[in-house]
Structure 1
């Protein structure tokens, strides 16, 4: 069995990597301006990172029509909670630790948008009404108070060839949800039945 690598002190990491440029430090701001607002308004996908008070971390994908995350004011965002698996991992984390991190993506755009702050849950009817989609109003919204926000350079997306049409072929090489669940269920479930059920039900009931 391979030996587990030892942790590296941060001082050593800084020695190896070097210092950030002045531009990298200056790009961070504490509010949403017109440029950041425009990015969020065109983003259909965001990754939401939270952590429980016991230290357990989680990162959850959220997606909808471009601009589904609303800017309420320069320091506040609102994310709708759409139909999902009801695990409530993000909600349980925020109930114990309000810190949150978001990464927004815009298809075809090489840069991403990073936003960090604190968050809480709300059922404010005025906010929920602004988050309506396909005639459905969400039951809960995540309200985010912005601490810092900035654009992240596109090296990761360029290296990943994320928007390269040829990268779509990779999807044929990874397991489906049905295959993963079936492999852990000792024959109690069929992979094809699970995947077929998702296609006919869950993936058609998005709101």
Structure 2
């Protein structure tokens, strides 16, 4: 890291790569053997049943972004064994992911299947396209996206389920945690310097907008 990071009143010790390896040890060969550069039949079935993924990108200035994407299962469309396309659906128009991709062409994808503890990781090179053939393949509910992200895979592998299991992510009782968090409208209002009443109005408007999706 450039510059020291301070927290709770003192400077933190930064562990370098040598110390990281000394602490964690060396990965087993099997951890490397599972990494491929393409999507095999099992990966294709995984993506066909996945309704949600996170996109990680980095800009030319090093600024990072991680963006959630979701749609009907299979929305990450496989074009061939080393190429996938992701539609750009209606969002906030900040286009953080696409701006980063236009600048560096790098992407990481983490795909989920509800109820499955393992996740599928894809790293590779990406581009933003308005190619009509690709966009037509991504049509959903008579809606064709204006843009799409096309990814050429360089690393593909299944990530073990320890994190999902520790989190209890798919456990029904874990959904009760949402009741302990302020409504989204109030969070947005607070971060924008607005009061709770405005936040409640924002929440009602967002709720109506969400219902139009279904």
Question: Which bracket does the TM-score occupy, shorter chain normalised?
Answer: over 0.9
Q: Alpha-carbon deviation of 1:188?
A: 9.2
Following the alignment from structure 2 to structure 1, what is the Cα–Cα distance between the partners of residues 29 and 70? 33
Q: How many residue pairs were aligned?
A: 206
| Matching of residue 199 in structure 1 with residue 203 in structure 2 | no
Q: Alpha-carbon deviation of 1:91?
A: 1.0
Q: Alpha-carbon deviation of 1:189?
A: 6.3
Moved over 6 A (4+): none
- The TM-score with structure 2 as length reference comes to 0.92
For the 8 Å contact 1:83–1:206, the answer to whether it is kept is no
Which structure 1 segments of 5+ residues have no match? none
Which position in structure 1 is the counterpart of 2:15?
8
Q: Alpha-carbon deviation of 1:30?
A: 0.5
**Matched ranges for 1:4-153 at <5 A:** 4-153=11-160
Q: Secondary structure of the equivalent of 1:190?
A: helix
CA RMSD of aligned residues (A): 1.4
Which structure 2 segments of 5+ residues have no match? 1-7
Following the alignment from structure 2 to structure 1, what is the Cα–Cα distance between the partners of residues 143 and 211? 14
Higher relative contact order (CA 8 A, sep 6+): 1
Change (3 A) 1:84 1:205: farther
Which position in structure 1 is the counterpart of 2:3?
none
